[in-house]
Structure 1
Amino acid sequence: MSRRYDSRTTIFSPEGRLYQVEYAMEAIGNAGTAIGILSKDGVVLIGEKKVTSKLLQTSTSTEKMYKIDDHVSCAVAGIMSDANILINTARVQAQRYTYAYQEPMPVEQLVQSLCDTKQGYTQFGGLRPFGVSFLFAGWDKNFGFQLYMSDPSGNYGGWKAAAIGANNQAAQSMLKQDYKDEITREEAVELALKVLSKTMDSTSLTSDKLELAEVFLLPSGNVKYQVRSPESLSKLLVKLGMTQPAAEAS
């Protein structure tokens, strides 16, 4: 039945569904898992890297984590070419707001503005929805630390903990069980690693298969966005007992 109604984004099925939008959401299920956790002193984002070639310069490139402004970053799951367009759009919007009002753009206003763009691509003919979901992490003076999730339909919502990408339902159920209010950033990192280790496709958890980013406040009051280095991730995994230390060459 769906074949009669899925050739256009503007045609509703008799059940009131837009199949093209649903297909875009299905495409995200093929991407690496990304998890976001809101803590009392920051926001943690962690993602599973699918591209693990030894030739990739990991020190200068990221696959899942992107900085939008000094106070906002995001994790991505889906078609990266689509994500790049939306990330650049969000960066421009954030800078225009800062130029006009001389202060950082509120996090939810930035997310809503980007989701308005995504929703437009589900409404007009000749376009297809963006096949990408985001986890936005940020801080502003209005609501402090915030975590938002958005999907290809343009819908978004604020979350305490959320997962997108492959096996997101299993990750979401684990987060629902183990998340607790007043969680610290260190505990959030440990929880995110625990959930990802049980939901990612790979059998072993190593630093070259992960990206971990954090948004937190410095003692000076400035917002800091930090991506953990592979060396720091390796030490953390060994400390938590989630991987074995590398054997020294004899």
Structure 2
Amino acid sequence: MTVIDRDSGVSVWRQIEQTLSEEIRTGQWGEGARLPTEGELSERFRVNRHTVRRAVGGLADRGLVRVEQGRGIFVRENVLEYLIGRRTRFTENVKRVNRSPGGHAISLTRQRVDREVAGVLGIRAGAQVVHLETVGEVDGRPVSYGSHWFAAKLFPRFEETYRATGSGSITQVMEAHGFGDYERAVTKVTARMPDAAEADLLKQPRNRPILYVESLNVAINGQPVQASHVRYAADRVQMVFETRPVAGPTFEEEP
């Protein structure tokens, strides 16, 4: 039981909010951790549920927790600010904010491409592609699950180069095949609910949305080199779209 000072001049719900906030700040409740239920908090602080609900609402307003109907109260994750621009690189995005990138390949195969992906890559349907599926991690926690396609004729040594990087770096594979300066040409973002496999790989419940990102990377001459469909945990990633600043007209002052 935690004692509430009812003579302090600070409202009871505010004291509860401050106590829980301090526990989150000091790491007693880590990112993504589920806090005790309203009933358990009511018993701990010896108050009614309405008071607890108001304290939790204060934490939610400050962005410290999220409340999921039917599941509980969870500490909000440290959201990754993910820049989408001409040069979009997962590792660079993560390191830019002093966090640790990681991840692993789920599968790496060669297959015949379907009509949809073929159209994006500018090759004929049924042509051979390298198909790579990956999980991207930040600080050891999954944030993305990606499916990537590369025209096989452009990447004859994809598999050996990818494995030789040790870290599974797509950028290094690109460089090894002469496409080190590849750029982002198209990015389409859709919010939707995950299927069972996606939720499992992202380690999140199925009732929490994901960001489904379809993208195309091209070589410096505009040739398509990589098509990707990546699912991001929406509560762990914030997409930030970079745009090139446009200089406005310059006017000379009249004498």
Say yes or no: TM over 0.5: no
More strand by share: 2
Larger RCO (CA within 8 A; separation ≥ 6): 1
Is the helix fraction higher in 1 or 2?
A: 1
TM-score w.r.t. length of structure 1: 0.25
Structure showing greater radius of gyration is 2
